[in-house]
Structure 1
Amino acid sequence: MNPFQSWQVWAILSATFAALTAIFAKIGIENVNSDFATFVRTIVILCALGTILIATGQWQSLGSVSSRSYAFLVLSGLATGGSWICYFRALKIGDAARVAPIDKLSVVLVALFGVAFLGERLSLPNWLGVALIGFGAILVAYKG
């Protein structure tokens, strides 16, 4: 099996890139307004992703996407933008090693929202993991 067809491989890569994002951003925003830094980051992402889509032949015609999909993608984009703005402001003020774990409380929130809004079901061990992630994030962020 091709490892790049495994969601686990992509999830680990995502976590790795997210960790590098925190480190690179903390260094990069040292003498830069956090909102401007988010703007620069967004331009880089747009250019990189556009290049990937064109190079791999994955570009879709805009008419091939349903209005419902567009609505939720726009909401997702707004949520992403809000997250990035808040994340960069937190990094500007706080330590990366404390900001990132609190940001990762999103894992706990996704579990709760998935159950509440998507009808997903989690087993007792899953809930234990969610609780441990939440507790662990708080402990790592704690400055004591």
Structure 2
Amino acid sequence: MTSSNSWFFWAALSACFAAMTAIFAKVGIQGVDSDFATLIRTVIIVFVLSAFVAYAGKWQNPLTLPIKTWVFLGLSALATGASWVCYFRALQIGQASQVAPVDKFSLVLVAVFAFIFLGERPSGQEWLGILLVAAGVLVLAFKK
């Protein structure tokens, strides 16, 4: 799938896998330290992605990548790791139906950060959708 609309297919799949992540993780971290569980998850991801990249013939020499790529992928990795540690800790002490929506507040933050740092300009309709997501997060997070 390489058409201009294939991004939606992959984004929808990402959402499905993210939903499964919350459920599987909530069950998997019972009786295990959340930081240790995050390490186990990360090791498994490294093995699976390594096999996928090798199988797909996409391996390349990482030393040939530009320094800018290394810096920003490194920063992304650090942010991802911090996100996972926080997410697993939240799942261990909270309900998945509350933790996952708050985690998805990242959608709102991505829109704001993309506006500030990348110069992206969402339309009025898109800002409305972003505000509705923010409101939905608050409603779901603070249910009684």
Q: TM-score, normalised by structure 2?
A: 0.96
Q: Aligned equivalents of 2:7 and 2:64: distance in 1?
A: 25
- Tell me the alpha carbon deviations over residues 31-89 of structure 1, each in whole angstroms, 9 at most, x when there is no partner: 10000000000001000000000000001111221001000000000000000000000
- Give every structure 1 segment of 4 or more consecutive aligned residues whose post-TM-superposition deviation is greater than 2 Å: none
Q: Aligned equivalents of 2:19 and 2:84: distance in 1?
A: 14
Q: TM-score, normalised by structure 1?
A: 0.96
- Aligned-CA RMSD value: 1.3
Bigger drift between 62-71 and 123-132 goes to 62-71
Residue 111 of structure 1: aligned partner:
111
Q: Aligned equivalents of 1:75 and 1:2: distance in 2?
A: 28
Residue 43 of structure 2: aligned partner:
43
Residue 61 of structure 2: aligned partner:
61
Tell me the CA shift for residue 2 of structure 1. 6.3
Structure 1 residue runs without a partner (length 5+): none
Q: What amino acid does structure 2 have at the position aligned with 1:131? A: L
Q: Aligned equivalents of 2:139 and 2:9: distance in 1?
A: 27
Q: What amino acid does structure 1 have at the position aligned with 2:41? A: R
Aligned residues: 143
**Aligned residue runs from structure 1 range 87-98, under 5 A:** 87-98=87-98
Residue 6 of structure 1: aligned partner:
6
Q: Aligned equivalents of 1:75 and 1:8: distance in 2?
A: 26
> 2:103 matched to 1:124?
no
